[in-house]
Amino acid sequence: MSTSPMSMFTIISQQVTIYLGLFILIIGFFGGLLNIIIFLSLQTFRQNSCAFYLTAMSFANIIHLTINLLSHIIINGYEINLTAKSIIYCKIQLFLVELFLLTSLTCMCLATLDQFLATCSNPFWHRWNNIKLARYVLIGTILFWLLHGIPSIIYFDIIVSPSNMNQYVCLITNTIFQQYITYGFVFILMGLLPLIIMVLFGSLAYYNVRNLAYRTVPLVRRELDKQLTKMVLVQVIYNIFVLTPFVIVALIAFNLPTIDQISAVRVLAIDIHNFYFASPFYIYICVSKRFRQQFIHVFCNIHFNLYKKTNINNNQIQPKPPNTSINPISK
């Protein structure tokens, strides 16, 4: 029996979601964990506001991938709609998506802005580049997105599916909030606005860093700023390619009828969008010599400490067992 073209699109999108999604989840989880370890292991990174934002972004990326991407794989890959089975999960799922996704994107924008301030020659702008202010900004960011997610808890509910009266789905019950989610959250906050901020301040930071050699800046600070700016700029360029498809799909596909082809394109755009959360460690390890050196240093120390601990345990003096040998002459 032949398979119709529409169902074939669904099958392909499901398989891509399962295998590509699991791949993104695994590399993103371990990449984010390595990012956190490396950024927290070097004092110059711990005291730098840009590295602080990148560390916070790594935490948000790990949680987002663990909660949202895993849910995306289960719902769109295995067709197990968890949101339609639990009213609590229905209400909390998008709330968590908004919180950690928007926190991650905001941290990336702040890191780009921070590198512009760090490389700026104007003392007025340069003074805003400090770790103490970065901590307050991050706390304010998290509180703001927490408040932003409250309407999701209020307006999401389990209702009868408009297309199938025998099926229940988790949908928004307020039409105005539905319009905001489609255009405000999905199109602007998840794609267009972060891209504009990243490209704008990334370009300004690149312009500033080219003139660092002509300024009276300590060598260590100058090299650190160059390394961090390079890391941020390459990630901005990468983000253009993984976020832009989602912006286009959000603008076009969400206004078209829900058919298999459109649903498949929408799901694939979400899969590509998730590469944003999985990629930072691999970008930094490729473009930054300082980051690679710290990575090698950290894990050589871990290996050495484990090897030393193992040898100490193996070389401990064991109590001498009693002499149980039998003299053959006595026989």
Half-sphere exposure for 43 (CA within 13 Å, toward CB): 1
pLDDT bin (cut points 50, 70, 90) of residue 194 is: very high
Mean pLDDT of all residues belonging to the chain? 82
Average pLDDT over residues 49-68: 93
pLDDT bin (cut points 50, 70, 90) of residue 319 is: low
d(CA 291, CA 112): 18
Domain ranges of the chain: 9-299
The residues with which 89 forms a beta bridge, in sequence order, are none
- 251-293 tens-digit pLDDT: 776 666 666 677 777 788 888 889 999 999 999 999 988 888 8
CB 260 within 8 A of CB 7: yes
Residue 260: its pLDDT value, please?
66
Residue 258: its pLDDT value, please?
63
Superfamily of domain 9-299: Rhodopsin 7-helix transmembrane proteins (1.20.1070.10)
Does position 328 have pLDDT exceeding 60, yes or no? no
Does position 155 have pLDDT exceeding 60, yes or no? yes
> Alpha carbon of 145 to those of 152, 177, 227, 287: distances in Å?
12, 16, 30, 31
Average pLDDT over residues 85-109: 90
- 219-259 tens-digit pLDDT: 455 677 788 888 899 999 999 998 888 888 877 766 666 66
Average pLDDT over residues 179-195: 88
Q: Report, in this order, helix, strand and coil percent for the chain, each rounded to 5.
A: 80, 5, 20
- 295-311 tens-digit pLDDT: 888 877 766 666 666 66
pLDDT bin (cut points 50, 70, 90) of residue 326 is: very low
The residues with which 159 forms a beta bridge, in sequence order, are 169
Contacts of 288 (CB under 8 A, 6+ apart): 227, 230, 231
d(CA 95, CA 103): 12
Higher pLDDT residue, 168 or 315?
Answer: 168
Percent of the chain clearing pLDDT 90 (strictly above) = 31
pTM: 0.84
Residue 311: its pLDDT value, please?
65
pLDDT bin (cut points 50, 70, 90) of residue 327 is: very low
